[in-house]
Structure formats: structure tokens, C-alpha cells
Structure 1
């Protein structure tokens, strides 16, 4: 006997700016958290819910796809769609538990200047970045296969030049004066609106701080919220440039292993239960490409809430996902305001902008604002105003949509070219999103491949790949994976992909 789905009152508000499919997602999340839907319950069929809501079937299908990607629902073919039976307990707690104590209560973080103590592991041993055999050159003239570099050939330069010229000719006094350390107000408003619609992050413009890049964002956060010798969980492997800066700043980094579900929260708790920060890339782990699972997301949020810790979410290229829809940010699940959300325009537009942003919790707005003023860190108003116009006039949304389609095509060019050039010597697994990916070398008869040497030879050949092993805390251990990290956004066609792959193959054996 077929068990009917439980009675569920789903309503949408067509007066809201939030798209209907995102409203449906939010209604299901709330119903699951409140216990109205339980693990194993069958949810309404696509056609039935579309009829009930008087909306298109595709709208409901899109919402269900997102919920499946997040781990809330499971599709079982003709049997229907069900609430996932493997939801973590923290998802199933009543939404009534959320309360307001976090919004108006503890303000435990200490205001301090940038920490100055040396970086160390939980055991007290220094963990400083080792001297690399190659130079990590992310600046200057772009090179083929450079990780993190968007498609510069596809950026709408004529539109951008017109917007910048218009602002420059306007004679606005704000463009000529010292910039607001917190950022150009209209741009902060557009960022807040964009994050609410596309990333599920609800915030006020006052919570958005525009910075001169990701490094500047981290510096602002640390100066505002960190104390000397604070410990920070850091993904292992993790983002090279962030690790370098954090090590210099004095934060004591705790490398926490990453597996197929993202950062291992349980292992992090074992390594350093007293850490006050965690820096994560949940939507597209850097450099391996995994997505942080729902269970791990909830465990990480619970870890932060229990002892008033901070999570720094680096959402660097989440706009680009090729399997399913872009996943909502970790911040969208944050009910206790413990997540500091970091985004950038470098991957979506172009890195020469040097514009990034942070969304800070309400309790920290005043403190971060004071530190931003003391740092005199405002970015040029002219560029901020042009980006605000780019977003307001719809160019930004159209550009993201075009690039998502273009990158979806280009990522499929490089993979077969590498497989053809390397054969069994290289393991290629494309991640579901992002504009870069990691490949691993199969161990040869003489042992592990020296990926640092391969990357150095590739740089001499004009390529900009990076060795995978240097992203790990203990990069030269025999068990450390060896491979390359590379970008694919600027690979224009199959012919170029083949030439680049063959050039890279010649670098394998010297």
C-alpha cells in the first residue's frame, strides 16, 4: 500500500523579490527543521505541487533539484521523492530552538590588532610554509592553464569601458574624494541583494564591507576579531595564498584533513578542540573541488555555535556549477550568526579589479567598521561605482549566466586532451563546479612523481600550473598526493586544449 505524503501547506509570496523556486526550497527546509517532514517521508509530486502553487512544473523541479543537491531530499525514480533518511540530527532540531540569544547576547570576540605570534600546530611545532621549488606567480601577464583565472577573452570589455568612462566623466565629488573604508554604499546594497537572491545569504548593506581583495578581507577579519595566538582550522590541502598570509599574521594554523565530504569536522575537534576560527571553502574546496556535505555543514555550524567560534566561508567561485544548480552558501544555514561570508569579483569579472567583500555578523559590524577606518582600507570609488552600475543594469547577471555556459563547455575540452596525452599516468576527475581543478599523477616505477619539478618545467614552457603537493601541510611526505592544479577557463577550443596537454606531457619526464 502506497503511503501518501504528509499534509504540507506550501505557500509562496509573489510579491517577494525572492524567486519562487528559492521560496519553495526555504519552505521545505523549515518544514524539515520543525519536524513537519521527517526522514523517509514522501513529498508531493512535481506536477501536484506545481498545480497547488499555480506555477510551472519546471519551477518546482528546480527547487527539488537544489534540495537533492543539498542532501535534504532523495529522488527514487517512479517511487517518488522523499526526505533523505540520512539527515544529521542537527538538521532535524526544531526551528524554535534558534532563539535570539545569539543575535543580542554573547559578544565574546576580543578586539585586537593583527596577531604577531608565530604559527604552530596543535602540538606546538611550527607549521610555516616551506620554501617552494617554484614561484607561485599569480600576477603579471596571464599564462595558459593558470588556476583561478576567469575567461578574459569573454569579458564584455566594451560595456565595462563605457561604464567606467561614464563615471569618470560625471565629475561626481564622491569619485574624487577619499573612499568610504566600508565600501561604496550603492555597491554594498547591490551585493546584499545579489547574495540574498543567488546564494541564500540574508544580510543588510551595513553588514557588507568591500575590500581590496581576499587578502585584505582576511586582514580586516583578523584585526577585528582575532587575538594573539588564536588557533584556526585550515583545510589540508588548502588555499596556498591564504595559508601564506595567515602564517605571516601570527594565527596558529591547524591543518585539518579534507576527504570526499570536505573538511573533517570530527578530526578537527580531535586535533584542536579549542580553535576559535575555521577557514573553509564549502562550495568548491580549494584545490580538490569537493562540496562540503550537509552533515559536515551542520556539524561545523554546531561546533561554532557551542563555544562562540567563527567560521570564515570563502565562497570564491561558487557561481559556476555545471552539475545541478549553484548550492546555497554555508552562511544561508547559519542560524546563530557565526559565519563570516567572503566573496570576490576576481573570479566572476576579472582579478585586476582588486575588489572583494565580506558579510560580517550583526554583532561585529561596529567593531569591523572601526578597524576598517583605522586601516584606511577603502578601494577606489570609481571602480566600485562602475561595478555597482554593472550590477544594477543587469550586465553582471547576464555575464555570470554566459560564463557558466561557456565554462561548462571549456571544462570538457581539457579533460579528454589530458587523458589522451598522459594515458594512465594521470588521473583526471572533473569537479562539479569552479574554474580550476586538480589532477593526480599515478605513481611510476621509480616512486611518486616530483610534481614540483614538473610544474617548474611547465613554467619554463610557458604554462602556469601549480604542483598539488604544495597545497598540503606536509607536502613532501611520500604519502602526499602528487599532481597539478590548473585552470581551464581560458582554453578556447579543442585544438588549443590538445596543444597544451601535449606540452604539459613533455614536462613529465624532463
Structure 2
């Protein structure tokens, strides 16, 4: 007779009334129990199926929590022995119970050097980039590199490129500036690091939109800034709320053209409020103008810097979203009064990329290729966005709301009790680079949603991509989750192992 071995029990609960994702609650509570000694080294944990039933959550939620803990060294997972608390050598202290670093938005183009995957955000249409033209321009400079280009260059960047960018901003964006006000940087985050090193002191308060782009927040925190999450509504960042929270903040980071990730444009009223506050408080406003020249396809939004009569705005642009992110090349336009300060910082904090790349981008702009490329991309993105929105609407029906953000992604709203983080990780295990919405909020409760990039999905592939996504979304609800009408669960499918999940966190 086979003796039945009872599943171990775990004194654990989750709270659905708070904004913390369920998998994070589970992992944090288990870590706390290990650190407190109530879960001893070698102790066996319930199976994911058993704990999921105990907590009335999906098995995928528990699998994700277990995978995170295994990756951090808290658990040891073996098929025969089950899931156990990791045995640590004598004298080695237990892993700290402090908050573990969060991944920098899985699904971004910067995540790994690999070909674009369906729904990946942060990528332009790489299949439409004029690579032969670019190679010709690069080859010409590589074959005729003069001695003058082999010595140290100006700290602010390649002079002709700075002039080309200044001219483009004056003509294309209506931003009055000169070459001396332009600084070439290692992409958007390089520009943000340069601003922080020049203007920010440890402990200075910084307004950030809530929700927002988490790598930008991490960059400002690393520089010593004290982040003040300011809520976002239908008019963009809520300036009166920001003033109530931190009236003397040093910096404010905003995305006025198309708020990331929600896509709202900063209203005229809020623009006026923001500029008035900056002038009165002596604060500086960082305008992240990401992809504005190819986004807001329906109604282009003017740059905030264009109405910067008080000289308080620092305008940041990047070629990652309009050319290709492998360049990691961006630029910063600063008020004339700050140009000398930024020159000094640039001399001590070199954040530029390859001189050869700067020369190629300069030719690309001055020879007219950049303007023609932007025009092609606007038309192409409008076509691809419409095709994907139509496909999602047709395939998913009325169960999910598809929102056009006016940017280079659409936002798919999920039922209120969905776990978008678990779903995004499962989708990634199936080859789709989907980004979850909820982790982008600090205090804001965004609700669950998925960010779906459309730039690299051809119109004739949109319907297949939508069907692939539906295969994860349209899963019948298990009986214990029928309390919320219309709720959908995403179970762990048989072909997705815990190792596959941990490799995609």
C-alpha cells in the first residue's frame, strides 16, 4: 500500500485590497519567514499547485514568486525533492530582507541584443531603416579619418552635429537654440545623468510622473534625488498636486507630448501652471521629448521648450526611437544661462558615444535623409498602428479595451483582478516581448494593462499576433476566481517550466 505524504502547509496570506502584485506579496512574505527563522534551511514548501489552492490565486502567480526567490538564492527547486529553503554554508548570513532591485522594465529594446519580438516597445521599425545608405555614410568616414579627428574632441560633442541638431530644433520643433546650448549624450539616460550631475544635490526633491518610465526614476535616485511621485490625469501631470507635495522641488521630469506610459498630452492649462511654478520656485523642468517626431500621429504636440520664456526647460531628445537604439545617441538643449555649467560637467563626465557615429548622424541630418526618414516613419507607423488596433479589436472583441496612446505603443486594459506581471512573463516565455503597466506606478494604482508595441509588426502579420496574444488572454476562469464578473485567469501551461519563467523575469 502506498503511503500518502501530506503536502506541507505554509502560514501565508495575500491582500487584494493593496496595490502590491500578488506574486510580490507571496515572495516578500516567504523571504520574511526565512529571515525570521520560521522557515528553516532545508524546509520543504508546498507545491505551487497546493499553495495556489490555499491562497486562491493562479498557479502561475505562485510559480513566478517561487522562481524569483530561487533566482535570488532563497529557494532550491528540484523536481524530485520539491521546493525547499536553500541550505547556506555555516557562517554565511541569510540574504537581507530588504527590497530586492526590480528589473528595468522587461520587454524594452535595451534588454538584450536580439531580433525584435512581437509587441516589443522602445524600438523603431528596424526593417524600414535605410541600412545600405547608413553603411555607405559610415564607410566614407571610416576610410578617410583625418588626424584632426583622432585627437580629443570638444567636450560637448561633435561640433557640426551640435549645429545640425540646433538647426533641426529651430526649424522642425520651433525651439530657439544655438550650437553652444546643445550637448551630445549617450542616449536619454546619458542626458539625464548629465543634468543630475550638473543641477542636482543629494536629497533634492524631484517631481516624477506617476506612473512613469522606471529607468529614468532609477537614474535620478542614483544621483541622490528624492523622488516625489506626482499623479497623472487626463491633462497630464497634476501640477497643483505636485506643488502641494513638494513646492520647492529642484527638478521636474515630464513627458508633455505623449505621457509614458498612458499617452495623454500635457494640456495648455497644465503647461502654463508648470512654467509658472518653475519660474517662481527656481526649479528646472526636464522635457523628455521621446519619439515626438514620429508619435502623436493624430495631432502633433508642440514642445514645451517652445514656450520657455523664463528659460527653465531642459529639452532632451534621442535618436533611439527614430533611428535605432544601438546608436545609444541622444542630445540635450539647455538654457543659455546654463551652457557654461554643462560644458564644465561634460569635461569631467564624458557621456558621448563614438565620434564616427556622431559624424554619420550629422551627414544623415544635413544631407536631408533624416527629414525624409521621419516622413516615411510617420506614414508607416500610422498604417501599422491602425492594422494592430483593428486586429486586436476584431480578435479580442469587447472583452478588452484597446487604447491608442498617440505614441509608438497601444495600451491593452485588462480586467480589474488580472495580474499583468504574471501575464507579461508568460507571454515572454512564448516569444512575445510584452510590458506590464502596473509596475510603472509608484503610488498610483494604474490597474492591470499591457503595453503593446506596433512598430515592428507588419500589417499582414497583425492578425496572427493578435491571435497569439488571445491564446494567453482567453483562458477560462477556474471556479475559485469567478467572484469578479468577467475575470480571466492565466494558468501556468504545461509546457512552461519554472526555469523558463525565471529566465524571463
- TM-score over 0.5 (shorter chain): yes
Q: Within 2, Cα distance between the matches of 1:181 and 1:458?
A: 44
Q: Deviations over 1:256-283 (max 9, x none)?
A: 1111110000111111112111000000
Q: Deviations over 1:197-232 (max 9, x none)?
A: 111110010000000111111110010111110101
User: Judging changes above 3 Å, is the alpha-carbon distance between structure 1 residues 341 and 408 closer, same or farther for their aligned structure 2 residues?
Assistant: same
Assess if the C-alpha contact under 8 Å between 1:458 and 1:464 holds in 2: yes
Q: SS of the counterpart of 1:153?
A: helix
Q: How does 1:431-510 map to 2 (within 5 A)?
A: 431=405, 433-443=406-416, 448-474=417-443, 479-494=445-460, 496-508=461-473, 509-510=490-491
> Offset at 1:486?
1.9
> Offset at 1:396?
0.2
Q: Deviations over 1:147-167 (max 9, x none)?
A: 121000000111111100011
Q: Within 1, Cα distance between the matches of 2:205 and 2:352?
A: 28
Q: Within 2, Cα distance between the matches of 1:128 and 1:304?
A: 34
> Offset at 1:130?
6.2
> Offset at 1:322?
5.3
Per the alignment, residue 147 of structure 2 pairs with: 173
The reply on whether 1:224 has 2:195 as its aligned counterpart is no
Assess if the C-alpha contact under 8 Å between 1:174 and 1:381 holds in 2: no
Assess if the C-alpha contact under 8 Å between 2:229 and 2:443 holds in 1: no
Q: How does 1:383-398 map to 2 (within 5 A)?
A: 383-398=357-372
> Offset at 1:321?
4.1
User: Judging changes above 3 Å, is the alpha-carbon distance between structure 1 residues 421 and 177 closer, same or farther for their aligned structure 2 residues?
Assistant: farther
Q: How does 1:80-479 map to 2 (within 5 A)?
A: 131=102, 135=106, 138-141=111-114, 142-321=116-295, 323-324=297-298, 326-431=300-405, 433-443=406-416, 448-474=417-443, 479=445
> Offset at 1:174?
4.0
User: Judging changes above 3 Å, is the alpha-carbon distance between structure 1 residues 501 and 179 closer, same or farther for their aligned structure 2 residues?
Assistant: farther
Assess if the C-alpha contact under 8 Å between 2:185 and 2:352 holds in 1: yes
Structure 1: unaligned runs, 5 residues or longer = 1-126
Q: Within 1, Cα distance between the matches of 2:451 and 2:387?
A: 16
> Offset at 1:501?
1.4
Q: Within 1, Cα distance between the matches of 2:151 and 2:118?
A: 39
> Offset at 1:423?
2.4
Q: Deviations over 1:84-126 (max 9, x none)?
A: xxxxxxxxxxxxxxxxxxxxxxxxxxxxxxxxxxxxxxxxxxx
User: Judging changes above 3 Å, is the alpha-carbon distance between structure 1 residues 354 and 472 closer, same or farther for their aligned structure 2 residues?
Assistant: same
Q: Given the two structures, how large is their TM-score scaled by the length of structure 2?
A: 0.71
Q: Bigger radius of gyration, 1 or 2? A: 2
Q: SS of the counterpart of 1:428?
A: strand
Q: Within 2, Cα distance between the matches of 1:377 and 1:258?
A: 31
Number of residue pairs aligned between Structure 1 and Structure 2: 375
Q: How does 1:44-55 map to 2 (within 5 A)?
A: none
Q: Within 2, Cα distance between the matches of 1:449 and 1:370?
A: 50
Q: SS of the counterpart of 1:480?
A: coil
Q: Within 2, Cα distance between the matches of 1:412 and 1:205?
A: 38
Q: Within 1, Cα distance between the matches of 2:335 and 2:317?
A: 15
Q: Given the two structures, how large is their TM-score scaled by the length of structure 1?
A: 0.71
Q: How does 1:47-86 map to 2 (within 5 A)?
A: none
RMSD: 1.9
Q: Within 1, Cα distance between the matches of 2:243 and 2:442?
A: 18
Q: SS of the counterpart of 1:342?
A: strand
Q: Within 2, Cα distance between the matches of 1:180 and 1:502?
A: 52
Assess if the C-alpha contact under 8 Å between 1:180 and 1:378 holds in 2: no
> Offset at 1:136?
5.2
Q: Within 2, Cα distance between the matches of 1:159 and 1:365?
A: 34
Q: Within 1, Cα distance between the matches of 2:390 and 2:298?
A: 22
